[in-house]
Structure formats: C-alpha cells, structure tokens
C-alpha cells in the first residue's frame, strides 16, 4: 500500500539529518526481481539535505528513474522540488502547494472551458495548513498520495519514455487506485470544498484525464486488466454538503469508468461486424470524456403541534460530459461528438433503517403532453322549398400535439423520494437509455442535438433541469421528539450517459451508467432554516 506522506513525516529532524548528512529513498514503483539481461527498473522518490544557514536545515525532494536503459543508467532525475525548511512549523507544506500548482498548470482544459488556469496557481497556504491540522495522519496521507500520484502522471506517462509510463500504470497506479479514490478520505472532500469550484474543476479534470488514460489501456490490454477494479465497478468521486438551505451533491466520473448497459458490441455481439477504423477513432475520442454532475436540493423544516415537517424540492440539476485534453480552438476530429445524459434519477430521504419518519408525501408526476386537435363542423340549412342553401355555419376546434424530449416523474423508494427524468426520442418515442436498435437501424431524432430552437441540451452539450420541471415539493413528517437533533439524510444520483452519432455517420452507439450516494446533515433546530 502506497504511503508517501508517512515516509515523509518520518524523515529525520533537522538535528538528526545534519548529523547523518545522508539521503533517503522511497521506492514508488518497481518492475520486480533483477536479472542480468533485464535489470530492475524503478521509480524512486529521494529526499536530500541541502545547504542552508547554520540554524536551518533544508530538504529537497526529487523523482528519479533507475535502470530503464543505458541513457538513464544508473539513474535519471526527472523532477526536483523547491526546498523545504525543517525549522518551519509545517516544513512540508510548500511541497504540497508546489505539487498542486503544477497539477493546475497542466490541467487538461475542457473543449468549451473558460477556466483561467493561469489565475488559479496562486494558492494561499492557510487553508492547506488547516486541512493538515484538522485531519488524522491516515486521512491526510490518502489525500497527499493522490496529489503526488496525479503529479507523477504527467511526469511518467506524458514526459518520459513509454517504459516509464507502463511501469507507472502497472505498478503504481493500478494497485493503489481503489484506495486513492476511497470515499473514506475526508481530507479530499475538505480540499475540494475549501479551494473553490475553479480549482476543484482543474484538479478533478486532471484526475479524470489520468483515469481515462488508464481505462483505455485496460481495454486495449497490455497486461493491465487484472490489476485494476472490475470493469463493472464505477470509477470516480462524489461528495455532499449542507449549507444555506441546500443539500448539494457534486460528482465526477470518467465515461470509460462507468458501467456499460447498452452497446453495439454488448447487445448484438457477433451480429455486428467489427468496428471500422473510423469508428475506432471515434471511440478513442469519446473515451477522453468525464461526467461532471451537480445535484442541488432545497430543503426547509417546519415545527407544528405534534410533528415536524421536512420539505424538499429539486432546485437545480446540472450534468455535463466534458471533452478533456485539448483546447477549444484546436482542430480536433469528432469534437462535436460526445455522450449526453439520457436518464437522471435523484434520491433524497432519511438514512437507511430510520424509524422516526411517519409519512412521505410526494408531489405529482408531471403531465408533459400538450394537445391541440383541429376539427371542423359545417351546418347547412334552407328556407321553404329552395334547393339552394340560405344558411351556412361552420365551427372549428383545434388541438395541437407537441412532443417533449424529457419526461419527469416522482416516485418513492421506502421513505426516500425519487425524482426521475427520462429522455425520449421525439421521432420514435423510444426511451434513449434503454433503446436497442436493430442491425443497421439509426434514429435521426437526436441528430444535431446541440443546435436548433428545440434542442434538448445546451449548445455545449450540458443538461440543466430546474425545480419547476420536476413538479411539486415532497415532504416527510417526523416525530416532534426529534427536535434538536441533527439527522443524517441521504442524497444520491444515478445517471445514464448515451452516445448516438451527432455529426458523423456511424453505427456506434452506447449507454453507460454511474451511481453515487452520500450523506448530508439535516438540523432539526428551531430557527435554523425553519418555517
């Protein structure tokens, strides 16, 4: 198990280091046993004492490659840190800040991003000093390891020979992937909340790009399949917060790390021919995408005689599959081809096993249809024996049919409220997330889906759903005895992403799914967000 921070924390003090005057080495990754014809290859982290004042000891860290070929034998330094002063209260805080600044500076931009990376590299030390003080060494160690491994991604996978990148993915990232993305790492959650949304996006897009490259390697082979999570296990990260009357869930997942539910290969198997070269290039371009989700639910608490009323309604849902790894002005093939949300399921409710909820009241499943039927009735009449009509009347009633792309519903799962939005092809009526086309069948209902007045998505491919589209609020009645408590409430999301051809002619289609669930606080305190 990787534990870089513990190794750094156990380095000698200034007095001990001055007396020993030696360097210390931590092996990050190794190719295994050494043979004469194939010497051991390793990626190492070295800490060395450097010259300082008489009362100060300075430490410099470096990343070295060992034993890869004659050019790099016996070792090659590929990165050197700024100096860290051991006389400081937090001697290795500058190392953390340097790693984060360099990650932000190399962060892949989304195709439509306006995130000013150059303005985000000035990180103030105080928030990070607080993060180090407010978390256990074990929790902070996991966060620091993720930061260091993410910085190593650019060094080893992008700026070094292919043998170095292979060792990085196989022996460093793969064995530690599950631990690095573990939800029981509150320091990462605190970091994302503290640094603000712009730095958060830069950091998580770098992590997403790293995971996307890993998933591509896993799919094409190169001996990496058995060294990572099962393909059915979702990769990504989510966290939830409570503030200002909102429950907010933020989540990230590389598209290739999501579970496949529909596919040209999965469902038709041998009925489809192998993908053409064009489709393979398309699939490779689509693999460099990440789902970014924000689920925002507004809540309030009312105190009445004999019960407490908790009310919640969807305020805003935002989902975007961003293209990572190139600039918006670059001439890139398939830049307009991307996954899109085809179904969204949001769950809000008390923790599992809660016995203090006496009832759940839902709103309505919204009626999305609009109808205008055009009919015409003509009445003719005449006077006396005339054969020519003297009176003629007509009445017209019109009804217009309007097809909507999205269908919104409310449902219940135990004491949890479920908000469901399903995308339908307005030409065929098929639900996109569950559609399985026949051989050669294509639908034009969602082509050019990012243009036109009636498009179901924004121009950039995002999906934004507001509370008025989800119908009425939902409510729970709780025992009055719960007043003064701070309960744990669940907020979760399940998102289906689909790909149908947009600007290109292709037989490739796919639907993937990811699910998150986190806990937030529900304070039942008079005067705090009560009505």
Q: What is the pLDDT of residues 437-471, one digit of tens each?
A: 665 566 666 777 877 777 778 777 788 888 776 66
Q: Look at residue 466 in the predicted model and tell me its pLDDT.
A: 81
Q: Look at residue 272 in the predicted model and tell me its pLDDT.
A: 38
Domain residue limits, the chain: 1-229, 251-362+405-531, 370-401
Inter-residue contact 181 to 201 (CB < 8 Å): no
Q: Look at residue 456 in the predicted model and tell me its pLDDT.
A: 77
Q: Please write the tens of the pLDDT for every residue from 275-304.
A: 566 778 888 889 999 999 999 999 999 999
Q: Look at residue 138 in the predicted model and tell me its pLDDT.
A: 84
Q: Look at residue 329 in the predicted model and tell me its pLDDT.
A: 55
Distances (CA, A) of 434 to 151, 304, 425, 444, 448: 39, 44, 11, 17, 21
Q: Look at residue 389 in the predicted model and tell me its pLDDT.
A: 58
Inter-residue contact 11 to 17 (CB < 8 Å): yes
Q: Look at residue 458 in the predicted model and tell me its pLDDT.
A: 79
Global pTM? 0.85
Alpha helices, H only, 124-196: 125-134, 137-152, 162-167, 174-180, 186-195
Determine how β-strand 486-499 pairs with β-strand 307-323. Answer: unpaired
Query: Low-confidence residues of the chain, pLDDT below 50?
Result: 34-36, 72, 225-232, 267-273, 371, 373, 399, 401-402
Q: Give the number of other Cβ atoms within 10 Å of residue 224's Cβ.
A: 18
Task: Report d(CA 410, CA 419) in Å as an integer.
Answer: 5
């Amino acid at each position: 198990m990787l534990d870089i921070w513990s190794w750094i924390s156990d380095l000698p003090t200034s007095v001990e280091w001055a007396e020993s005057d030696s360097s210390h080495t931590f092996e990050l990754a190794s190719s295994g046993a050494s043979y004469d014809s194939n010497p051991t290859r390793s990626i190492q982290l070295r800490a060395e004492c450097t010259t300082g004042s008489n009362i100060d000891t300075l430490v410099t860290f470096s990343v070295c490659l060992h034993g890869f070929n004659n050019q790099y034998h016996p070792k090659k330094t590929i990165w050197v840190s700024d100096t860290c002063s051991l006389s400081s209260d937090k001697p290795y805080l500058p190392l953390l800040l340097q790693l984060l600044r360099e990650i932000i500076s190399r962060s892949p931009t989304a195709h439509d991003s306006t995130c000013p990376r150059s303005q985000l590299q000035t990180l103030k030390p105080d928030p990070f000093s607080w993060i180090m003080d407010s978390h256990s060494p074990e929790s902070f160690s996991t966060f620091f390891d993720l930061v260091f491994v993410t910085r190593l991604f650019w060094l080893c996978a992008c700026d070094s020979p292919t043998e170095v990148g292979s060792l990085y993915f196989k022996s460093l990232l793969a064995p530690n992937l599950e631990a690095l993305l573990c939800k029981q790492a509150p320091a990462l959650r605190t970091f994302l909340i503290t640094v603000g949304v712009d730095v958060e996006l830069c950091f998580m897009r770098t992590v997403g790009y790293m995971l996307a490259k890993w998933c591509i390697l896993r799919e094409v082979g190169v001996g990496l399949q058995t060294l990572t999570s099962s393909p059915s296990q979702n990769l990504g990260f989510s966290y939830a917060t409570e503030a200002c009357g909102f429950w907010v869930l933020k989540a990230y997942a590389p598209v290739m790390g999501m579970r496949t539910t529909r596919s040209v290969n999965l469902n038709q198997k041998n009925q489809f021919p192998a993908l053409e070269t064009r489709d393979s290039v398309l699939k490779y371009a689509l693999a460099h995408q990440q789902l970014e989700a924000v689920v925002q639910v507004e809540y309030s608490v009312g105190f009445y005689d004999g019960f407490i009323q908790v009310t919640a309604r969807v305020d805003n849902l935002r989902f975007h599959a961003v293209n990572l790894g190139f600039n918006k002005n670059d001439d890139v093939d398939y830049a307009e081809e991307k996954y899109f949300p085809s179904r969204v399921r949001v769950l809000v409710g008390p923790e599992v096993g809660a016995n203090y909820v006496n009832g759940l009241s839902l709103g309505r499943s919204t009626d999305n249809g609009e109808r205008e039927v055009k009919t015409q009735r003509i009445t003719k009449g005449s006077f006396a024996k005339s054969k020519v009509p003297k009176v003629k009347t007509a009445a017209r009633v019109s009804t217009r049919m309007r097809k909507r792309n999205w269908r919104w519903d409310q449902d219940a799962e135990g004491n949890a409220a479920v908000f469901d939005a399903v995308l339908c092809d307005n030409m065929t009526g098929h639900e996109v997330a569950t559609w399985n086309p026949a051989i050669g069948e294509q639908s034009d209902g969602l082509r050019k889906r990012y243009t036109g007045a009636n498009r179901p998505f924004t121009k950039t491919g995002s999906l934004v759903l507001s509370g008025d589209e989800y119908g009425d609020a939902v409510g729970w009645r709780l025992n009055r005895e719960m007043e003064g408590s701070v309960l744990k409430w669940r907020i979760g999301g399940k998102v289906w992403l689909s790909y149908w051809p947009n600007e290109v002619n292709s037989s490739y289609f796919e639907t993937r799914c990811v699910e998150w669930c986190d806990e937030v606080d529900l304070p039942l305190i008079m005067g705090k967000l009560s009505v």
